[in-house]
Amino acid sequence: MKYKSQQVAYWFFALCMLLFALQIVYGFIMGFARIGMDGLHDWIPFNTARAVHTNLLVVWLLSGFMGAAYYIIPEEAQRELVSVKWAYVQLISLALVGVLAITGYHFNIWEGRKFLEIPRELDYLVVINVLLFLGIILTTLYKGKRRTTTALVLTMGLVFAALLYLPGMIWFDSQVTDSFFRWWVVHLWVEGVWELIMGGILAFLLIKLTGVDREVIEKWLYVIVGLTFLSGILGTGHHYYYIGVNKIWLIVGGVFSALEPLAFLAMALFAVYMYRKGERNHPNKIALFWTIGSAIVSFVGAGLLGFAHTLPQVNLYTHGTLITAMHGHYAFWGAYVMIVLAIISYAMPNMTGRKRHDKTNGHLAFWLSNIGMLGMVVAMGVAGVVQVYLERRLSMDFMVAQEEVKIHFVVMLLNASLFATGIGLYIYEFIKYGRPTDEALEMKKEEEPALVH
Amino acid sequence: MLSKSQARTFFFGGTVVTFLIFIGLTIYSLAPGNDQTNHLAITDDVIKGKHLWETNNCMGCHSILGEGGYYAPELTKVIDRRGAPLIKAILQSPVPWAPNGRKMVAYEMPEEEAAAMVAYLEWIGKIDLNGFDRIVSPLAKDKQ
Ligand code: HEM
Ligand code: HEM
Ligand SMILES: [Fe+2]
C-alpha cells in the first residue's frame, strides 16, 4: 500500500463484517419461521426480519463499495484522498443511517416498498451521505496525477448509483407507477450501474493480481460495461411484464434481458483469460480465488439463473415465487458479495502488513461459504419448482403448497449452517489481521515495485 | 483487433441509444391512452389503503402484482377469492390470524382503515395484468 489515507478503507470493511454477520442472523430467523419455528414472531415478525435481512445486505455492500473506492482511487489517481477526516464523518453517518433504519423496522417505522424500506425522511440523510462520499472521491480524482479507465468506470458506477436512488424517492398514488419507478432503482442498480462498480473492482484486482497489461484489461472492461448497459437498461422490461403496464414490455424486456447474461459471460471469460495470460505469481492466492470466483459465480447466479426465468412465457408462472428468491441469493452472492470479499482479501495484508493470506482458514472460508451457498440455492430452487407446479399449474392453495415445500427449507437451513461457518471463519481471519499499520506503508514499496505502473 | 477507443465508443454509444429508447418507452407506457390500471378510479380511500399497505410493510410477507415476500399468499385477487368481509375481519382481529399455522401480525385496524385497505385491494384486483391475473389466483381464475 502506498498512501496512508487508504487506511480508511479498513473501517468500511469492518462495518461490512459486522453488518454481514447480522444479516445472516436475520436470514436464520426467516428460515426457521418457514419451518414453523416462529417463536420470535411477536418481536421480530417475518416482515421485520426480511426488511432487516435485505437492507443490511444493501448497506454493507455499499459500505464495501465505498471502502473499495477509498482503497482503489488513491492508487489509481496516485495521490492521497483529499480529506481523511471527512471520510470518517461519512463512515459514521453511513453507520448511523443503517442503525436508525434497522432499529425503526422493529417498531413498524418503514415504507413497505421491497428493498427501499428506508423511510423518506432518512432517505435525505442517505443523499447527504452519498454526496459527501462522491465529493471526496471526485475531488481526489480531479486533483490526481493520473486518470485511468478503471477509476473512471468505478466512479461512473458510483455516481449513477447515487442518481438512480432519486426516482425511488418520488411519491405516487398508484401502486403500478410506484412499482414502475422502484425498478429504476432496484433493477438499474443490480443489472446496470453496480456492474460498473463490480467491473471496476474486478479490473483493478486483475491488474494487481495477474500483472496483465492495463491497456488490455481496460479495453475489455469497456466491452463488458458496454454489454451491460446495452442489455440491462431495456432489460428493465422483465419487471414490467405483469404489473399492469403495456404489453410492449413483453417483447422489449424479453429480448434485451435475455441478452443480459452476455455481460456476465464476458466478465467470467475475461477473468479466467487474464488469469491464464498473467505472468505474475502473486502470493495472495486467496484474493485470486475470490476474484475469479466472483466472475464465474456471478455468471451462474445472475446470468444463467436469471435467464432461467426471464422469458415472459416462463416468468408468467415463476413471477413472485421462491424461484425469484433462489436467483436473488446466488446473483447477489456471486456478483457483489464475492467481489467485496475479494477486495477485502486483497487489501488486508497490504493495509496491515501481516501476511495471513496463505492460512488454511482463508481457503476453508472460501470453500465452506461457497458450498453452503450453492446448497442453499439448490434447496430453494427445488422448493421453487415444486411451488410453481403445485400452486400455479395445479391451482393448489398457497399454504397447501407451502406445507409441501417445508422439507426443502430444512435442507436449506443445514446448508446455511455450512455457509455461516465459512463466513464466520472469514470474519475471524479479518479480526486476526488487526488494524492497519504505518509500517505496511513502507513495506509495500520495497516488496512489489512492479505493481506500480 | 478492437482498439480501446472503439471499445469506449461502443460503451458510450450503446448506453446513450438504449437509454433514449428506454425513456421513450416509459413515456409511451405511462401515457393515459395506454392505461391498464383504471387510474381514474383511484379514490382517496385507495390512496389511504396504499399508505397503510406501506406503513405496515405488508409487502414484507405478501406479494402484490407478484412483488414482495414469499411467506404469505399473493394478494392481487384476494377480494375475488375471499370476499371483503373476511379481509376486514382479518385486519381487525386482535389475535394473529393463522389459519394454517403461519402467523400474520394482528393489526387491530379501526373500521375506516380496514375499509381503506379493502378499497385499495379492490382497485388492485381490477388491473389488467397481461394474463398474470389468471395464473396467480386459481380461484379467481375459475370465476372468469
Ligand atoms: C448481479 C446481478 C443480479 C442480481 C443481484 C439480481 C437480483 C435479483 C433480485 C433480488 C430479484 C428479486 C427482486 C424483487 O422481486 O424485488 C430479481 C428478480 C429478477 N431477476 Fe435478477 N438479479 C441479477 C441479474 C439478473 C439477470 C442478468 C437476469 C436475466 C437474465 C435476471 C432476471 C431476473 C428476473 C426475470 C427477475 C424477476 C423475477 C420475478 O418475476 O419474480 N436477473 N433479481
Ligand atoms: C444463513 C444464510 C441465509 C438464510 C438462511 C437466508 C434466508 C432468506 C429467506 C428465508 C428469505 C426470504 C424469502 C421469502 O420471502 O420467503 C431471504 C431473502 C433474501 N435474502 Fe437471504 N438468507 C441467507 C443469506 C443471504 C445472503 C448471504 C444473501 C446475499 C448474498 C441473501 C440475500 C437475500 C435476498 C436478496 C433476499 C430477497 C430475495 C427476494 O425477494 O427475491 N441472503 N433470505
Ligand atoms: Fe432485473
Interval A112-128: pLDDT, tens: 999 999 999 999 999 99
Q: What mean pLDDT comes out for the span A72-83?
A: 97
Q: Spell out where A399-444 has E strands.
A: none
Question: Exposed e or buried b for every residue in A80-109, given b needs 16+ CB within 10 A?
Answer: bbbbbebbeebbebbbebbebbbebbeeeb
pLDDT in tens, A341-352: 999 999 999 999
* CA gap A159, A154 in Å, rounded: 9
In the structure, what pLDDT confidence band is assigned to residue A444 with cuts at 50, 70 and 90? Answer: low
- In which residue are the cell numbers 419448482 written? A385
Q: For residues A283 and A357, is the Cβ–Cβ distance under 8 A?
A: yes
Nearest residue in chain B measured CA to CA from A49: B60
What is the Cα–Cα distance from B11 to B30, expressed in whole angstroms? 28
DSSP H or E stretch at residue B64 = strand B63-64
CATH architecture of the domain formed by A4-451 = Up-down Bundle (1.20)
Mutate to test the interface with B, among A182, A393, A398 (most CBs of B within 10 A): A398
Return the C-alpha cell found at A169.
424517492
At what angle are helices A214-235 and A261-277 packed, to 10 degrees? 170
Cβ–Cβ gap A246/B129 under 8 Å: no
Q: Which residue has the higher pLDDT, B136 or A211?
A: A211
DSSP run (H or E) holding A264: helix A261-277
Cα A117 to chain centroid, rounded: 18
CA of B68 from ligand 2 middle (Å) equals 13
pLDDT at A450: 42
Give the CA distances from residue B33 to residues A334, B29, B40, in Å, rounded to whole numbers and listed in that order. 42, 9, 12
What's the confidence (pLDDT) of residue A316? 97
Query: What does the mean pLDDT of chain A come to?
Result: 95
Q: Is the CB of A283 under 6 A from ligand 2?
A: no
pLDDT digits (tens, 9 = 90+) for B98-119: 988 899 999 999 999 999 999 9
Question: What confidence score (pLDDT) does residue A306 get?
Answer: 98
The shortest C-alpha distance from A250 to chain B (Å) reads: 9
Nearest CA, atom 43, ligand 1: A328
Ligand with smallest separation from the Cα of A231? 1
Domain spans of chain A? Answer: 4-451
CA–CA dist A364, A344 (Å, integer)? 16
DSSP secondary structure code for residue B63 in this structure: E
- 8 A C-beta contact, residue B130 and residue A247: yes
Question: Taking Cα atoms as reference points, which of A52, A72, A28, A55 lies closest to residue A344?
Answer: A72
Tens digit of each residue's pLDDT (9 = 90 or more) over A258-288: 999 999 999 999 999 999 999 878 999 999 9
Give the confidence band of B97 by pLDDT, cuts at 50, 70, 90.
Answer: very high
Residues 6+ apart with CB under 8 A from A218: A148, A149, A150, A203, B4
User: Which of these, A411, A406, A405, A410, lies nearest to A375 by C-alpha position?
Assistant: A411
* Per-residue model confidence as pLDDT tens digits over B39-80: 999 999 999 999 999 999 999 999 999 999 999 999 999 999
Query: Does position A195 have pLDDT exceeding 80, yes or no?
Result: yes
Q: Is the pLDDT of residue A144 over 60?
A: yes
Residue A422 in grid coordinates: 465459512
> How would you classify the pairing of strands B63-64 and B67-68?
antiparallel
pLDDT at A149 exceeding the cut of 60 = yes
pLDDT of A280: 79
Residues 6+ away with beta carbon under 8 Å from A1: A7, A347, A350, A351, A440, A441, A444
pLDDT score of A425 more than 90? yes
The predicted pLDDT at position A440 comes to 87
Residue of A nearest to B41 (CA): A174
Task: Give the nearest chain A residue to B139 (CA atoms).
Answer: A395
Subunit contact B60:A50, Cβ cutoff 8 A: yes
Mutate to test the interface with B, among A38, A47, A118, A153 (most CBs of B within 10 A): A47
For residues A374 and A395, what is the distance between their CA atoms, to the nearest angstrom? 30
In whole angstroms, give the CA distance from residue B53 to residue B43. 15
- What are the distances in angstroms from CA A298 to CA A169, A195, A313, B92? 29, 10, 24, 45
Rounded CA gap, A150 and A221, in Å?
Answer: 8
Which of the four pLDDT bands, split at 50, 70 and 90, describes residue B139? low
d(CA A133, CA A130): 5
- Cα–Cα separations (whole angstroms), residue A417 to A40, A254, A409, A424: 19, 37, 12, 10
Q: Does B11 touch chain A (CB under 8 A)?
A: yes
